[in-house]
């Protein structure tokens, strides 16, 4: 399901199921073909949206972690495919957007943190860093979060970033994709593109 990738530079969206990746993809591209749904696991293979003349695309990768109605071995296989996709295409990935649910991410991380395991979100953040892929954590659904600064500071702490979050604006981007409030993310992505001398792609953000 991960075959036939177009040969071009890309920005990838990764994250747990049902955190709003596909909604964010629609917002970034203005394209409505991306399937969204309340049931986790709607996206099972990469969704590419590309501009052929520009040799650039956004890619919405399948959600990882728990998926309602999906057997655990299938969930594991999807996660393995995501990791392999990112590893194999790391040289062409200009930036990664790790999407998390601002309302629940701290509880999820804390619930899955043990002496023997690291939560998927944190593991993915470290994995992208190891591959030297510039990463922005898009903290979605912030319209549902009351203690905004406290929540974002807690997230920095869980990711190994020294709070306060406002010193990490190139890495932590509070957004509400459903309302079209993604300016923090686009500004962070522009910073990373500029660092790679790809200002020509600003028009897509």
Range 150-164 average pLDDT? 96
2 in a structural domain: no
Instruction: Tell me if residue 47 falls in helix, strand or coil.
Output: strand
| pLDDT for 37 | 46
DSSP characters over 20-41: SHHHHHHHHH----S---SSTT
* CB-neighbour burial class of residue 143 (10 A; exposed 0-12, middle 13-18, buried 19+): middle
The token pair at 3 is: 């075959």
Name the percent of the chain lying above pLDDT 70. 88
pTM here is 0.91
**Could you tell me which residues are beta bridge partners of residue 97?**
13, 136
Its domain, for residue 100, covers 9-198
Tell me how many domains the chain contains. 1
Q: Does residue 22 form part of some domain?
A: yes
Distances from the Cα of 103 to the Cαs of 19, 44, 146, 151, in angstroms? 10, 24, 9, 8
Residue predicted with more confidence, 5 or 125:
125
Q: Would residue 203 count as lying in a domain?
A: no
What's the pLDDT score for residue 123?
94
Interatomic CA distance for residues 185 and 126, integer angstroms = 19
3-state secondary structure of 151: helix
Label residue 69 by pLDDT band (50, 70, 90).
low
Are 135 and 98 a contacting pair, CB within 8 Å? yes
Query: 49 in a domain, yes or no?
Result: yes
Q: CB 10: neighbour CB atoms within 10 A?
A: 22
- pLDDT higher than threshold 90 for residue 95: yes
Asked if the structure places residue 86 within a domain, the reply is yes
In CATH, what number is assigned to the domain containing residue 45?
3.40.50.300
How many secondary structure helices (H) and strands (E) does the chain include? 6, 6
């Amino acid at each position: 399901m991960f075959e036939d990738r177009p040969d071009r530079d890309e920005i990838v969206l990764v994250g747990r199921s049902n955190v709003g990746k596909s909604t964010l993809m629609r917002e970034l591209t203005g394209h409505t073909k991306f399937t969204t749904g309340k049931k986790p696991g709607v996206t099972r293979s990469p969704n590419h949206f590309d501009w052929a003349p520009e040799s650039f695309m956004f890619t919405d990768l399948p959600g990882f972690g728990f998926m309602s109605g999906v057997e655990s071995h299938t969930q594991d296989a999807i996660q393995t495919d995501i990791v392999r996709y990112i590893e194999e295409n790391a040289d062409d990935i200009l930036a990664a957007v790790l999407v998390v649910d601002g309302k629940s991410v701290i509880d999820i991380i804390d619930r899955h943190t043990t002496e023997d395991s690291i939560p998927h979100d944190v593991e993915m953040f470290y994995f992208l860093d190891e591959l030297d892929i510039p990463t922005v954590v898009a903290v979605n659904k912030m319209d549902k979060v009351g203690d905004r600064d406290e929540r974002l500071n807690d997230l920095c702490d869980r990711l190994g970033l020294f709070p306060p979050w406002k010193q990490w604006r190139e890495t932590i981007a509070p957004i509400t994709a459903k309302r079209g409030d993604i300016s923090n993310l686009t500004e962070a992505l522009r910073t990373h593109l500029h660092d790679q001398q790809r200002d020509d792609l600003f028009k897509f953000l």
